[in-house]
Amino acid sequence: MNNGSLIHKLVKVTRPILRIPTLAIHLDRSVNTDGFKPNFETHLVPVLATQLRCGANSVDSSSTHHSRLLQLLSEQLDCEIEEIADLELNVCDTQPSCIGGAEQEFIFSGRLDNLVSSFCALRALLDTCKDSADLADETSVRMVALFDNEEVGSDSAQGAGSPAMFQAISRISKQLSKGVEYEGLVERSIRRSFLVSADMAHALHPNYADRHEDHHQPKLHEGIVIKHNANQRYATTATTAFLFKEVARARGIPTQNFVVRNDMGCGSTIGPILASGVGIRTVDCGIPQLSMHSVREVCGTGDVDISYNHFKAFYELFSSVDQQLIVDG
């Protein structure tokens, strides 16, 4: 800015300005037999403009970034190109989400994993904390924690591998103690806490039914999927699964269970990272979906309502349900 200060801004360009064109099948006959195998360095460079339209002299050798891209950003920011110090670029699909299917029962969208869980959790938190009466009988602290970089390992300052969760619980516990130094205050608070690691889940694919274990085939519209894995790829235990299902049962909300086939690999979530790093009781769960990690994923419209209601029930009922449970340690 003119006064010498620096401002960090988030910019979203809603119109498509970049495209990564694939090679026509006529020039790559092996793609049908060998599969799509791009070179990540040379084959995935997005096209911004042609030199004919953009101008041969549009690239400024003194800048790290293409001048036409900087111009587009300056227009979005309503500033001069020279005022842009640096940027971090993320490319995503600009096509809007839509509802489809013969019965209008599907959501077709990019990044359902994991925007849907984030939306449902945040909405449930807001709707269960509208006024002081909602918290009159609450003995715990209701929270939502949204992390970045989950798909690349979570080892970042803003990822689940950071100390953010532990620090948040520590600071809240100390603040609520009003300066009194209780023995093991933070540690006891963590052990009494409960984490719902809400990611998405793999719904039974009608064209690949053999990829699911016979007795664990999550379906759309039939409830949040509770994930189990003996190798701790998911952090769910019998106790945490029971507690999460119990709050759903109290409200008549359906749930499902998922265990990966023994002859297949298993994905993971931030659940084991936080469970082992913080020491917090955890259940791994998620809304069932198809085409996970594709540019156009699919989930059921009904599952958004089910997830919202389940999270809402968790916020409102968990403390009382948890107090009734006695674990033989």
Query: What are the angstrom distances between the C-alpha of 160 and each of 60, 143, 271, 309?
Result: 39, 15, 9, 25
pLDDT of residue 295: 92
pLDDT per position as a tens digit, 282-301: 999 999 999 999 999 999 99
Q: Which residues contact 224 (CB under 8 A, 6 or more apart)?
A: 198, 201, 248, 255, 256, 285, 286, 287, 303, 306, 307, 310
The yes-or-no verdict on residue 179 having pLDDT over 80 is no
pLDDT of residue 78: 93
Cα separation of 129 and 131, whole Å? 6
pLDDT of residue 220: 97
Evaluate whether 285 touches 291 at the Cβ level (below 8 Å). Answer: no
The yes-or-no verdict on residue 327 having pLDDT over 70 is yes
The yes-or-no verdict on residue 59 having pLDDT over 60 is no
Q: Please report, in angstroms and rounded to a whole number, the separation of the first and last CA atoms in the chain.
A: 60
DSSP state string for 102-136: TTT-EEEETTHHHHHHHHHHHHHHHHT-SSGGGGT
What's the pLDDT band for 21 if we cut at 50, 70, 90?
very high
Q: Which residues contact 52 (CB under 8 A, 6 or more apart)?
A: none
Structure tokens at 243: 């507690």
The yes-or-no verdict on residue 8 having pLDDT over 80 is yes
DSSP character for 217? -
What's the pLDDT band for 329 if we cut at 50, 70, 90?
low
Evaluate whether 165 touches 145 at the Cβ level (below 8 Å). Answer: yes
Cα separation of 144 and 118, whole Å? 8
Mean pLDDT across 115-141:
94
Evaluate whether 181 touches 174 at the Cβ level (below 8 Å). Answer: no
DSSP character for 45? P
Percentage of the chain exceeding pLDDT 90: 81
The yes-or-no verdict on residue 58 having pLDDT over 60 is no
Phi, psi for 277 (deg, rounded to 5):
-80, -35
- Mean of pLDDT over the chain: 92
Evaluate whether 108 touches 97 at the Cβ level (below 8 Å). Answer: yes
pLDDT of residue 65: 87
The alpha carbon torsion through 47, 68, 110, 199 (nearest 10 deg) reads 110
The yes-or-no verdict on residue 191 having pLDDT over 60 is yes
The alpha carbon torsion through 190, 191, 195, 197 (nearest 10 deg) reads 100
Structure tokens at 286: 């998620």
Query: What are the angstrom distances between the C-alpha of 213 and each of 188, 209, 225?
Result: 38, 9, 14
